[in-house]
Amino acid sequence: MEYIDLDRTEGYKKLQGLKKATVKDLLTTSRVQAADIGLGGGLRYNWAAMPVSDEAVKALQGLSDEMDLVGKYKEILKGEMMNTGEKRLVLHHLTRGNVLGAAVSADGEDKGKFYSSVLDSIKDFSEKVRSGEIKGSTGKAIKTVCQIGIGGSDLGPRALYLALKGWAEGAGVKMLNAEFISNVDPDDAAAVIKRLDFETTLFILVSKSGTTQETLTNRDLVLETLKSSPIPGLVPSKHMVAVTSKTSPLAADSSMLASFFIDDYIGGRYSSTSAVGGTVLSLAFGFDTFRALLDGAHEEDVKATEKDITKNGALMDALIGFYLRNIMGYPSTAILPYSQALSRFPAHLQQLDMESNGKHVNRFGEKVSYPTGPVIFGEPGTNGQHSFYQLLHQGTDIIPLQFIGFRKCQYGMDIETAGSTSQKKLNANLSAQIAAFARGKEDGNTNKEFDGNRPSSLIYGDKLTPAALGALLAHYENKVMFQGFIWNLNSFDQEGVQLGKVLAKKVLAGCEGDELLKAYADLLI
């Protein structure tokens, strides 16, 4: 399959030559109804308030076909070597189901069967812990699980756990509390440890390589605290499991109560549907909940194989995002969930998007001549309205927005005041913001004028359930993947993360003659 830079395509040239439309030019009630695509998990994607004309949509379809974006996605699904930087397959889709049905093999094993066997192990272990068959070392039932990991081992799983807490309580699902330790800052670990009852806590140590400095440092801090505890009969090894690769040092660590495996074909930021997210979520909510999340993600993965961009929400979202970045020249995007449950979801998407497509060279190591991944930020509504929305509405930069909303709350705890429930007030604010950003407002007082023409899209559904959450996760993973194909990037390595790690080790080794490094280290160490 041919991989070419965007500036060599006919589609890009055609898009650059089109007359640019504005949101005000395009937005009508009929467009709101028509510019709507079904996603997995009962979700829908609405792009009516985007400055993309029918002519532009046709051109975007042409670009998608010219670059064979869906064909490249299918190469991933077939098990082709798509991570060119690290010479690896990209198999996170396979952790939630086989989209094309053909077996994918690597390292002498069927990877689909391998991931299924890991799920079986997680199911068996989590059910034994939740039923009380597996207890802590002093004989007490486990009530809390605490994940120790950083980056993709923390951001995604933490965001998903918080997203499902309200649903689980509202649905009457038995829950174990979950805590997370990620930052090597000792205050992060200390604050969590002070909340824990060691006798009823199970720690989940997550490191694919088994050598992640921050994670192992936090592990040692936890173990030393456990060993120094005055609790009679407390055995630290009975309170820790590992999520790691079969070849890592942790895999051979007999002090672990159990181990659940991942491999090099699952990137950290794409690992939430592997054992990295599956272990903590299955323990916290039960394996059936995690299975429902996987099913929602798989449903969205299947929908992403559709070539017609008006029927493929992830592909349309990716192409519109590319249009905003490369044709309209907007360098950032705000993700605005009107759901407190998704409070940490924008943080996960920051890593997913910016670590994947924050690249200045193509798949072949050559510098590109066009802008690539945008800056991603966000905060739940309505808090954000009383914070940075001022700049979004009246600032000198136009920042495209992506809203997420649900008709129903999770806990089911709502009251009616002043003629409406809290959930209706929340969604009234969301609806109003979309219209306000699009239409603006004229006023004789310039201080109160709103230019409008601020583009936005909306992902919405009935309720944030495990299946909806899985589909939402997969939607963004696939959107980022498609955009990587458009920009001809390798979206699956992260060399930009490595330099700082190397220099940090150099500082700890005494700076090794690097005077500039030592000058800054002397300020802090």
Q: What is the pLDDT of residue 7?
A: 97
- Beta-bridge partners for 242: 205, 259
pLDDT in tens, 194-234: 999 999 999 999 999 998 999 999 999 999 999 999 999 99
Q: What is the pLDDT of residue 221?
A: 96
Mean pLDDT over residues 367-396, rounded? 97
pLDDT interval class at 255 (50, 70, 90): confident
Q: What gap in Å lies between CA 485 and CA 483, rounded to an integer?
A: 5
Mean pLDDT over residues 64-93, rounded? 97
Judge whether residue 363 has pLDDT over 90.
yes
Of all residues in the chain, what percent are helix, strand and coil, respectively (each to 5)? 50, 15, 35
pLDDT interval class at 497 (50, 70, 90): confident
pLDDT interval class at 487 (50, 70, 90): very high
Mean pLDDT over residues 23-31, rounded? 97
pLDDT interval class at 252 (50, 70, 90): confident
pLDDT in tens, 445-484: 999 999 999 999 999 999 999 999 999 999 999 999 999 9
pLDDT interval class at 253 (50, 70, 90): confident
Mean pLDDT over residues 483-490, rounded? 98
Judge whether residue 498 has pLDDT over 90.
no
pLDDT in tens, 114-134: 999 999 999 999 999 999 999
H or E element that contains 178: strand 177-181
Mean pLDDT over residues 367-392, rounded? 97
Asked if CATH classification 3.40.800.20 holds for the domain at 93-293, the reply, yes or no, is no
Q: What gap in Å lies between CA 395 and CA 275, rounded to an integer?
A: 43
Strand, coil or helix: what is 332?
Answer: strand
Catalytic residues: 355, 386, 501
Mean pLDDT over residues 84-88, rounded? 93
Tokens of 272: 């939430």
